[in-house]
Amino acid sequence: MSLLPLVGSKTQVPLLDGTTTTYANLDVAASAPALQSVADRVAEVLPWYASVHRGAGYLSQVSTALYEESRATIGAYVGAREDDVTVITRNTTDSVNLLAGCVPGRVLVLDIEHHANLVPWRRVEAGVTVVAGRDTLAGTIDALAGELARDSFALVAITGASNVTGEALPVGEIVTLAHAHGARVLVDGAQLLAHRHFSLAATGADYVAFSGHKLYAPYGAGALAGRRDWLDVGTPYLAGGGAVDDVEVGETTWQPAPARHEGGSPNVIGAAALAVACTTLGGLPAADLDRHEASLRGRLVAGLSALDGVEVIRLWPDSDEPVGVVTFTVDGIEPGHVAAYLSAEHGLGVRDGRFCAQPLLKRLGLTAGAVRASIGIGTSLADVDRLVAGVRSLLAGHVRGDYVLIDGAWTLAEDPRPLVGPAGLTRLADTAGSCGATVG
Protein backbone atom coordinates (compact mmCIF):
# COMPACT_ATOMS: atom_id res chain seq x y z
CA MET A 1 0.00 0.00 0.00
CA SER A 2 1.30 3.45 -0.93
CA LEU A 3 2.26 5.67 1.99
CA LEU A 4 0.98 8.70 0.05
CA PRO A 5 -1.22 9.07 -3.06
CA LEU A 6 0.77 9.18 -6.32
CA VAL A 7 -0.21 10.19 -9.83
CA GLY A 8 -0.30 7.23 -12.21
CA SER A 9 -0.22 4.53 -9.56
CA LYS A 10 -2.81 2.48 -11.47
CA THR A 11 -1.33 2.94 -14.95
CA GLN A 12 -1.81 -0.12 -17.14
CA VAL A 13 0.90 -1.25 -19.56
CA PRO A 14 0.76 -3.93 -22.27
CA LEU A 15 2.72 -7.17 -21.98
CA LEU A 16 4.24 -9.31 -24.69
CA ASP A 17 1.59 -12.01 -24.23
CA GLY A 18 -1.19 -9.59 -25.22
CA THR A 19 -2.45 -8.89 -21.70
CA THR A 20 -2.04 -5.73 -19.62
CA THR A 21 -0.91 -5.23 -16.06
CA THR A 22 -0.48 -2.43 -13.54
CA TYR A 23 2.97 -0.93 -14.02
CA ALA A 24 5.34 -1.69 -11.14
CA ASN A 25 7.67 1.30 -10.95
CA LEU A 26 10.90 0.10 -9.35
CA ASP A 27 12.95 2.88 -10.92
CA VAL A 28 12.02 5.74 -8.61
CA ALA A 29 15.70 6.37 -7.81
CA ALA A 30 16.01 7.70 -11.36
CA SER A 31 12.80 9.77 -11.39
CA ALA A 32 9.85 9.45 -9.04
CA PRO A 33 6.21 9.96 -10.06
CA ALA A 34 4.39 13.06 -8.87
CA LEU A 35 2.70 13.12 -5.51
CA GLN A 36 -1.01 13.75 -5.94
CA SER A 37 -0.64 16.72 -3.60
CA VAL A 38 2.00 18.14 -5.96
CA ALA A 39 -0.16 17.74 -9.06
CA ASP A 40 -3.12 19.30 -7.22
CA ARG A 41 -1.03 22.26 -6.11
CA VAL A 42 0.31 22.86 -9.63
CA ALA A 43 -3.25 22.86 -11.00
CA GLU A 44 -4.22 25.32 -8.25
CA VAL A 45 -1.42 27.83 -8.90
CA LEU A 46 -1.36 27.71 -12.72
CA PRO A 47 -4.17 30.29 -13.12
CA TRP A 48 -2.07 32.69 -11.04
CA TYR A 49 1.13 32.17 -13.04
CA ALA A 50 2.91 35.33 -14.24
CA SER A 51 6.38 36.88 -14.21
CA VAL A 52 8.42 36.68 -11.02
CA HIS A 53 10.37 39.67 -9.63
CA ARG A 54 9.54 41.59 -12.80
CA GLY A 55 6.03 42.98 -12.68
CA ALA A 56 3.72 45.27 -10.71
CA GLY A 57 0.63 43.44 -11.92
CA TYR A 58 -1.41 41.54 -9.37
CA LEU A 59 -0.60 38.11 -10.80
CA SER A 60 3.10 38.98 -10.88
CA GLN A 61 2.91 39.92 -7.23
CA VAL A 62 1.15 36.64 -6.44
CA SER A 63 3.72 34.61 -8.41
CA THR A 64 6.62 36.42 -6.74
CA ALA A 65 5.16 35.75 -3.30
CA LEU A 66 4.57 32.11 -4.24
CA TYR A 67 8.16 31.74 -5.43
CA GLU A 68 9.71 33.25 -2.31
CA GLU A 69 7.41 31.35 0.06
CA SER A 70 8.32 28.16 -1.78
CA ARG A 71 12.00 28.97 -1.30
CA ALA A 72 11.47 29.31 2.44
CA THR A 73 9.57 26.00 2.60
CA ILE A 74 12.27 24.17 0.65
CA GLY A 75 14.99 25.55 2.92
CA ALA A 76 13.06 24.57 6.02
CA TYR A 77 12.69 20.99 4.73
CA VAL A 78 16.47 20.53 4.77
CA GLY A 79 16.96 22.31 8.10
CA ALA A 80 18.51 25.47 6.67
CA ARG A 81 19.93 27.74 9.36
CA GLU A 82 18.83 31.35 9.76
CA ASP A 83 21.83 32.70 7.84
CA ASP A 84 21.77 30.01 5.12
CA VAL A 85 20.54 30.69 1.60
CA THR A 86 18.43 28.49 -0.66
CA VAL A 87 19.01 28.79 -4.40
CA ILE A 88 16.38 27.33 -6.74
CA THR A 89 18.08 25.29 -9.46
CA ARG A 90 17.03 22.68 -12.04
CA ASN A 91 18.31 19.58 -10.24
CA THR A 92 21.23 18.18 -8.24
CA THR A 93 23.63 18.38 -11.19
CA ASP A 94 22.73 22.05 -11.63
CA SER A 95 23.26 22.69 -7.91
CA VAL A 96 26.68 21.05 -7.79
CA ASN A 97 27.85 22.90 -10.90
CA LEU A 98 26.68 26.14 -9.31
CA LEU A 99 28.66 25.50 -6.12
CA ALA A 100 31.70 24.42 -8.16
CA GLY A 101 31.94 28.00 -9.43
CA CYS A 102 32.07 29.34 -5.88
CA VAL A 103 34.48 27.04 -4.00
CA PRO A 104 37.65 28.96 -3.04
CA GLY A 105 39.99 25.97 -2.86
CA ARG A 106 40.51 22.27 -3.53
CA VAL A 107 37.70 19.74 -3.38
CA LEU A 108 37.89 16.19 -1.97
CA VAL A 109 35.49 13.47 -3.15
CA LEU A 110 35.17 9.67 -3.17
CA ASP A 111 35.02 7.57 -6.31
CA ILE A 112 31.66 6.14 -5.23
CA GLU A 113 29.87 9.28 -6.34
CA HIS A 114 27.29 9.82 -9.06
CA HIS A 115 28.76 11.72 -12.00
CA ALA A 116 26.86 14.81 -10.78
CA ASN A 117 29.15 14.87 -7.75
CA LEU A 118 32.32 14.00 -9.67
CA VAL A 119 32.49 15.74 -13.03
CA PRO A 120 31.54 19.32 -11.99
CA TRP A 121 34.48 19.61 -9.59
CA ARG A 122 36.85 19.58 -12.55
CA ARG A 123 35.70 23.18 -13.04
CA VAL A 124 37.25 24.20 -9.72
CA GLU A 125 40.40 26.17 -10.46
CA ALA A 126 42.28 24.82 -7.44
CA GLY A 127 41.54 21.24 -8.46
CA VAL A 128 39.90 18.10 -7.12
CA THR A 129 41.24 14.98 -5.42
CA VAL A 130 39.33 11.72 -5.85
CA VAL A 131 39.84 9.06 -3.16
CA ALA A 132 39.09 5.41 -3.96
CA GLY A 133 36.64 3.82 -1.56
CA ARG A 134 37.99 0.96 0.53
CA ASP A 135 36.56 -2.51 1.20
CA THR A 136 34.92 -1.33 4.42
CA LEU A 137 33.09 1.82 5.44
CA ALA A 138 35.53 2.33 8.32
CA GLY A 139 38.46 2.03 5.91
CA THR A 140 36.84 4.50 3.53
CA ILE A 141 36.45 7.09 6.27
CA ASP A 142 40.07 6.49 7.32
CA ALA A 143 41.13 7.15 3.71
CA LEU A 144 39.27 10.46 3.74
CA ALA A 145 40.88 11.35 7.06
CA GLY A 146 44.32 10.55 5.70
CA GLU A 147 43.83 12.76 2.65
CA LEU A 148 42.51 15.62 4.78
CA ALA A 149 45.62 15.36 6.95
CA ARG A 150 47.94 15.39 3.93
CA ASP A 151 46.56 18.36 2.03
CA SER A 152 44.40 21.45 2.44
CA PHE A 153 40.83 21.32 1.14
CA ALA A 154 38.04 23.87 1.04
CA LEU A 155 35.26 21.31 0.53
CA VAL A 156 34.51 17.63 1.01
CA ALA A 157 31.66 16.53 -1.28
CA ILE A 158 29.91 13.29 -0.29
CA THR A 159 26.81 11.37 -1.24
CA GLY A 160 24.09 11.10 1.37
CA ALA A 161 23.18 7.66 0.01
CA SER A 162 24.70 5.73 -2.88
CA ASN A 163 22.58 5.71 -6.00
CA VAL A 164 24.09 2.29 -6.78
CA THR A 165 23.54 0.36 -3.54
CA GLY A 166 21.60 2.68 -1.26
CA GLU A 167 24.30 2.55 1.40
CA ALA A 168 24.69 5.74 3.39
CA LEU A 169 27.75 7.52 4.71
CA PRO A 170 27.73 8.79 8.33
CA VAL A 171 27.25 12.46 7.47
CA GLY A 172 27.69 13.78 11.02
CA GLU A 173 30.97 11.91 11.48
CA ILE A 174 32.37 13.16 8.17
CA VAL A 175 31.27 16.73 8.93
CA THR A 176 33.17 16.61 12.25
CA LEU A 177 36.23 15.20 10.49
CA ALA A 178 36.17 17.77 7.68
CA HIS A 179 35.55 20.73 9.96
CA ALA A 180 38.49 19.68 12.13
CA HIS A 181 40.68 20.15 9.05
CA GLY A 182 39.10 23.46 8.00
CA ALA A 183 36.97 22.03 5.18
CA ARG A 184 33.27 22.43 4.54
CA VAL A 185 30.94 19.60 3.51
CA LEU A 186 28.45 19.31 0.68
CA VAL A 187 25.92 16.48 0.88
CA ASP A 188 24.58 15.20 -2.42
CA GLY A 189 21.05 14.57 -1.19
CA ALA A 190 19.59 13.32 -4.47
CA GLN A 191 19.09 9.75 -3.20
CA LEU A 192 18.84 10.53 0.50
CA LEU A 193 16.07 13.09 0.84
CA ALA A 194 13.24 10.97 -0.54
CA HIS A 195 14.07 8.24 1.99
CA ARG A 196 15.33 10.00 5.13
CA HIS A 197 14.64 13.26 6.89
CA PHE A 198 17.75 15.47 6.73
CA SER A 199 18.82 18.69 8.44
CA LEU A 200 21.74 20.99 7.72
CA ALA A 201 21.48 22.39 11.23
CA ALA A 202 21.34 18.98 12.93
CA THR A 203 24.19 17.39 10.95
CA GLY A 204 26.37 20.48 10.75
CA ALA A 205 26.75 20.01 6.98
CA ASP A 206 27.44 23.21 5.10
CA TYR A 207 25.53 22.55 1.87
CA VAL A 208 22.99 20.13 0.47
CA ALA A 209 22.01 19.68 -3.18
CA PHE A 210 18.89 17.86 -4.33
CA SER A 211 16.36 17.36 -7.13
CA GLY A 212 12.59 17.73 -7.23
CA HIS A 213 12.18 14.90 -9.71
CA LYS A 214 13.52 12.45 -7.12
CA LEU A 215 11.29 13.97 -4.43
CA TYR A 216 8.02 13.23 -6.26
CA ALA A 217 7.92 16.73 -7.77
CA PRO A 218 8.92 16.29 -11.44
CA TYR A 219 8.42 19.89 -12.56
CA GLY A 220 12.00 20.93 -13.31
CA ALA A 221 13.21 22.39 -10.02
CA GLY A 222 15.91 21.45 -7.53
CA ALA A 223 17.82 23.37 -4.90
CA LEU A 224 21.16 24.16 -3.31
CA ALA A 225 20.91 25.22 0.33
CA GLY A 226 23.71 26.23 2.66
CA ARG A 227 26.27 28.80 3.77
CA ARG A 228 25.78 32.21 2.20
CA ASP A 229 29.30 33.67 2.08
CA TRP A 230 30.72 31.64 -0.83
CA LEU A 231 27.50 32.03 -2.78
CA ASP A 232 27.38 35.80 -2.24
CA VAL A 233 30.77 36.37 -3.89
CA GLY A 234 31.18 33.37 -6.20
CA THR A 235 30.99 33.59 -9.97
CA PRO A 236 27.35 34.06 -11.00
CA TYR A 237 26.19 30.72 -12.31
CA LEU A 238 23.93 32.01 -15.07
CA ALA A 239 24.66 35.50 -16.31
CA GLY A 240 21.52 37.40 -17.23
CA GLY A 241 18.51 39.34 -16.04
CA GLY A 242 17.56 38.93 -12.41
CA ALA A 243 21.14 38.11 -11.35
CA VAL A 244 22.38 41.66 -11.88
CA ASP A 245 22.25 44.77 -9.72
CA ASP A 246 23.49 47.21 -12.34
CA VAL A 247 24.69 46.86 -15.94
CA GLU A 248 26.85 49.26 -17.93
CA VAL A 249 28.45 48.60 -21.28
CA GLY A 250 31.42 46.39 -20.41
CA GLU A 251 30.71 46.26 -16.67
CA THR A 252 28.20 44.41 -14.49
CA THR A 253 27.47 44.61 -10.77
CA TRP A 254 25.93 41.40 -9.45
CA GLN A 255 23.27 40.74 -6.84
CA PRO A 256 24.12 38.66 -3.76
CA ALA A 257 22.73 35.13 -3.49
CA PRO A 258 20.20 33.74 -4.20
CA ALA A 259 19.39 36.15 -7.06
CA ARG A 260 23.06 36.10 -8.11
CA HIS A 261 22.64 32.51 -9.31
CA GLU A 262 19.07 32.63 -10.63
CA GLY A 263 19.48 34.52 -13.88
CA GLY A 264 16.54 34.43 -16.27
CA SER A 265 12.86 33.90 -15.49
CA PRO A 266 12.49 31.72 -12.39
CA ASN A 267 10.66 28.39 -12.52
CA VAL A 268 7.87 29.37 -10.15
CA ILE A 269 5.76 26.31 -10.97
CA GLY A 270 8.69 23.99 -10.30
CA ALA A 271 9.49 25.78 -7.05
CA ALA A 272 5.86 25.54 -5.90
CA ALA A 273 5.80 21.84 -6.80
CA LEU A 274 9.01 21.14 -4.89
CA ALA A 275 7.75 23.11 -1.88
CA VAL A 276 4.53 21.11 -1.55
CA ALA A 277 6.50 17.88 -1.99
CA CYS A 278 8.72 18.98 0.89
CA THR A 279 5.67 19.77 3.02
CA THR A 280 3.99 16.45 2.19
CA LEU A 281 7.07 14.31 2.75
CA GLY A 282 8.01 16.30 5.83
CA GLY A 283 4.64 15.43 7.31
CA LEU A 284 5.22 11.71 6.85
CA PRO A 285 6.47 10.22 10.14
CA ALA A 286 10.08 9.11 9.75
CA ALA A 287 9.33 5.85 11.55
CA ASP A 288 6.60 4.97 9.04
CA LEU A 289 8.89 5.62 6.09
CA ASP A 290 11.78 3.68 7.63
CA ARG A 291 9.53 0.72 8.45
CA HIS A 292 8.05 0.68 4.94
CA GLU A 293 11.42 0.75 3.22
CA ALA A 294 13.22 -1.64 5.56
CA SER A 295 10.49 -4.25 5.18
CA LEU A 296 10.39 -4.06 1.39
CA ARG A 297 14.15 -3.82 0.92
CA GLY A 298 14.74 -6.76 3.23
CA ARG A 299 12.18 -8.85 1.38
CA LEU A 300 13.69 -7.97 -1.98
CA VAL A 301 17.28 -8.70 -0.93
CA ALA A 302 16.26 -12.00 0.64
CA GLY A 303 14.26 -13.02 -2.43
CA LEU A 304 17.00 -12.18 -4.92
CA SER A 305 19.76 -13.69 -2.78
CA ALA A 306 17.90 -16.99 -2.68
CA LEU A 307 18.11 -17.32 -6.48
CA ASP A 308 21.10 -19.24 -7.86
CA GLY A 309 23.10 -17.02 -10.18
CA VAL A 310 21.93 -13.71 -8.68
CA GLU A 311 24.32 -11.50 -6.71
CA VAL A 312 23.17 -8.47 -4.70
CA ILE A 313 25.85 -5.75 -4.78
CA ARG A 314 27.15 -4.09 -1.62
CA LEU A 315 29.94 -1.58 -1.14
CA TRP A 316 30.78 -2.31 2.48
CA PRO A 317 30.00 -5.17 4.87
CA ASP A 318 30.00 -2.77 7.83
CA SER A 319 27.43 -0.28 6.52
CA ASP A 320 23.88 -0.37 7.82
CA GLU A 321 20.43 1.10 7.22
CA PRO A 322 20.67 1.52 3.44
CA VAL A 323 17.88 3.38 1.66
CA GLY A 324 15.54 1.55 -0.71
CA VAL A 325 17.99 0.86 -3.55
CA VAL A 326 18.99 -2.71 -4.47
CA THR A 327 21.43 -3.49 -7.29
CA PHE A 328 22.10 -6.98 -8.57
CA THR A 329 23.57 -9.03 -11.40
CA VAL A 330 22.37 -12.22 -13.08
CA ASP A 331 25.04 -14.68 -14.17
CA GLY A 332 25.32 -15.04 -17.93
CA ILE A 333 22.66 -12.45 -18.79
CA GLU A 334 23.51 -8.84 -19.53
CA PRO A 335 21.81 -6.25 -17.33
CA GLY A 336 20.06 -4.58 -20.25
CA HIS A 337 18.65 -7.91 -21.35
CA VAL A 338 17.32 -8.53 -17.83
CA ALA A 339 15.67 -5.11 -17.71
CA ALA A 340 14.12 -5.40 -21.18
CA TYR A 341 12.69 -8.83 -20.30
CA LEU A 342 11.25 -7.65 -16.98
CA SER A 343 9.58 -4.74 -18.75
CA ALA A 344 8.12 -6.56 -21.75
CA GLU A 345 7.02 -9.73 -19.99
CA HIS A 346 6.31 -8.64 -16.41
CA GLY A 347 5.45 -4.92 -16.57
CA LEU A 348 8.33 -4.00 -14.27
CA GLY A 349 10.37 -0.83 -14.56
CA VAL A 350 13.97 -1.18 -13.34
CA ARG A 351 17.23 0.53 -14.23
CA ASP A 352 20.19 -1.10 -15.97
CA GLY A 353 23.67 0.04 -16.88
CA ARG A 354 26.26 1.90 -14.85
CA PHE A 355 23.93 4.41 -13.18
CA CYS A 356 26.05 7.50 -13.92
CA ALA A 357 28.63 6.07 -11.51
CA GLN A 358 31.10 4.56 -13.94
CA PRO A 359 34.29 4.84 -11.81
CA LEU A 360 32.58 2.91 -9.01
CA LEU A 361 31.16 0.23 -11.30
CA LYS A 362 34.57 -0.25 -12.92
CA ARG A 363 36.26 -0.60 -9.52
CA LEU A 364 33.65 -3.19 -8.51
CA GLY A 365 34.41 -5.14 -11.68
CA LEU A 366 30.93 -4.51 -13.11
CA THR A 367 32.10 -3.27 -16.49
CA ALA A 368 28.91 -4.56 -18.12
CA GLY A 369 26.83 -2.74 -15.52
CA ALA A 370 24.12 -4.17 -13.29
CA VAL A 371 20.37 -4.02 -12.65
CA ARG A 372 18.93 -1.63 -10.07
CA ALA A 373 15.54 -1.82 -8.38
CA SER A 374 14.53 1.13 -6.23
CA ILE A 375 11.80 1.31 -3.63
CA GLY A 376 9.70 4.36 -2.89
CA ILE A 377 6.62 5.44 -0.99
CA GLY A 378 4.37 3.81 -3.61
CA THR A 379 6.12 0.43 -3.70
CA SER A 380 4.16 -2.59 -2.45
CA LEU A 381 5.00 -6.11 -1.33
CA ALA A 382 3.34 -7.31 -4.52
CA ASP A 383 5.78 -5.22 -6.60
CA VAL A 384 8.76 -6.71 -4.80
CA ASP A 385 7.44 -10.26 -5.13
CA ARG A 386 6.73 -9.67 -8.81
CA LEU A 387 10.32 -8.66 -9.42
CA VAL A 388 11.71 -11.73 -7.66
CA ALA A 389 9.28 -13.95 -9.59
CA GLY A 390 10.29 -12.27 -12.85
CA VAL A 391 13.99 -12.90 -12.28
CA ARG A 392 13.22 -16.49 -11.26
CA SER A 393 11.22 -16.95 -14.47
CA LEU A 394 14.08 -15.56 -16.55
CA LEU A 395 16.56 -17.93 -14.92
CA ALA A 396 14.21 -20.82 -15.65
CA GLY A 397 14.17 -19.91 -19.35
CA HIS A 398 10.54 -18.82 -19.49
CA VAL A 399 11.14 -16.19 -22.17
CA ARG A 400 8.66 -15.33 -24.95
CA GLY A 401 10.47 -12.54 -26.78
CA ASP A 402 13.53 -12.34 -28.98
CA TYR A 403 15.80 -9.72 -27.40
CA VAL A 404 18.55 -8.05 -29.40
CA LEU A 405 21.22 -5.41 -28.79
CA ILE A 406 20.67 -2.22 -30.82
CA ASP A 407 22.91 0.84 -30.40
CA GLY A 408 24.07 -0.41 -27.01
CA ALA A 409 20.58 -1.07 -25.62
CA TRP A 410 18.64 -4.32 -25.34
CA THR A 411 15.21 -4.34 -26.90
CA LEU A 412 12.72 -6.66 -28.57
CA ALA A 413 13.58 -7.59 -32.14
CA GLU A 414 9.88 -7.17 -32.87
CA ASP A 415 7.56 -5.51 -30.39
CA PRO A 416 3.88 -6.31 -30.98
CA ARG A 417 2.68 -4.38 -27.96
CA PRO A 418 0.22 -1.59 -28.81
CA LEU A 419 1.20 1.99 -28.12
CA VAL A 420 -0.98 3.15 -25.22
CA GLY A 421 0.92 6.23 -24.06
CA PRO A 422 -0.28 9.85 -24.03
CA ALA A 423 -2.02 11.32 -27.07
CA GLY A 424 0.35 12.45 -29.81
CA LEU A 425 3.02 9.85 -29.04
CA THR A 426 3.87 7.96 -32.20
CA ARG A 427 6.35 5.33 -31.01
CA LEU A 428 8.17 3.96 -27.98
CA ALA A 429 11.85 4.73 -27.45
CA ASP A 430 14.05 1.88 -28.60
CA THR A 431 17.33 2.93 -26.99
CA ALA A 432 18.41 3.83 -23.49
CA GLY A 433 20.15 7.05 -22.49
CA SER A 434 23.93 6.92 -22.43
CA CYS A 435 24.19 7.38 -18.66
CA GLY A 436 22.07 4.30 -18.03
CA ALA A 437 23.18 2.16 -20.94
CA THR A 438 26.18 -0.13 -20.71
CA VAL A 439 27.84 1.85 -23.48
CA GLY A 440 27.44 5.12 -21.56
Alpha carbon separation from 282 to 8, 277, 402 (Å, rounded): 22, 8, 45
Strand blocks (E) in 68-122: 84-89, 107-110
Residue 215 phi, psi (nearest 5): -105, 25
Q: Name 207's bridge partners.
A: 186, 226
Rounded CA-CA distance 330/166 in Å is: 19
What span, in angstroms and rounded, lies between the C-alpha atoms of 183 and 206? 10
Residue 325: count other Cβ atoms within 10 Å of its Cβ.
24
Closest CA to 99 of 207, 221, 192, 171: 207
Rounded Cα distance between 83 and 80, Å, is 8
Q: Is 102 a catalytic residue?
A: no
CB atoms within 10 A of CB 332: 8
**DSSP state, residue 323:** -
Phi first, then psi, for residue 186 (nearest 5°) are -105, 130
Cis ω before 359 (30° cut-off from 0): no
Q: For residues 174 and 141, is the Cβ–Cβ distance under 8 A?
A: yes
| Residue tagged active-site, from 102, 278, 356, 435 | 356
- Reported as half-sphere exposure (CB side, CA atoms, 13 A), residue 282 has a value of 15
Question: Could you list the active site residues?
Answer: 356
